[in-house]
Amino acid sequence: MKINVEIDCSPEELRQSFGLPDLRPMQEAVLKAMQQQMIDAVARTSPEALMRNWMPLFPQSPEQMQQVMAAFFRGLSPGRPPAETPSGAGQKKA
């Protein structure tokens, strides 16, 4: 003997008939928390944020960058006096 029973109901109705708890509020809260974590992770991995984290001493503004590059090309370190040349080096003989 073979008996087939077909039940036509929604997943919510079936869950309620078996007495299972409604997990939808918990799932929504977890998904909302995961979404916020993903948004925060994207913000932390932006190129600007990565440069700030990887190079904390690197100039943060375009003006500071310009000053550092100008000092570099002049052979100076920012905030330091020019390096003196060793005696006899770079001097013209008369």
Which H, E and C letters describe the chain, residue by residue?
A: CCCCCCCCCCHHHHHHHHCCCCCHHHHHHHHHHHHHHHHHHHHHCCHHHHHHHHCCCCCCCHHHHHHHHHHHHHCCCCCCCCCCCCCCCCCCCC
Q: Which residues contact 76 (CB under 8 A, 6 or more apart)?
A: 82, 83
Task: Check residue 94 and give its pLDDT.
Answer: 46
Percent of the residues in the chain that have a pLDDT greater than 70, as a whole number = 74
- Asked if the model's pLDDT at residue 93 lies above 90, the reply is no
Radius of gyration of the chain (CA): 34
Q: Choose between 80 and 53: higher pLDDT.
A: 53
Q: Which of 19-23, 35-39, 40-44 has the lowest mean pLDDT?
A: 40-44
Task: Check residue 92 and give its pLDDT.
Answer: 52
- Asked if the model's pLDDT at residue 30 lies above 60, the reply is yes
Q: Which residues contact 75 (CB under 8 A, 6 or more apart)?
A: 82, 83
**pLDDT band at residue 80 using 50, 70 and 90 as cut-offs:** low
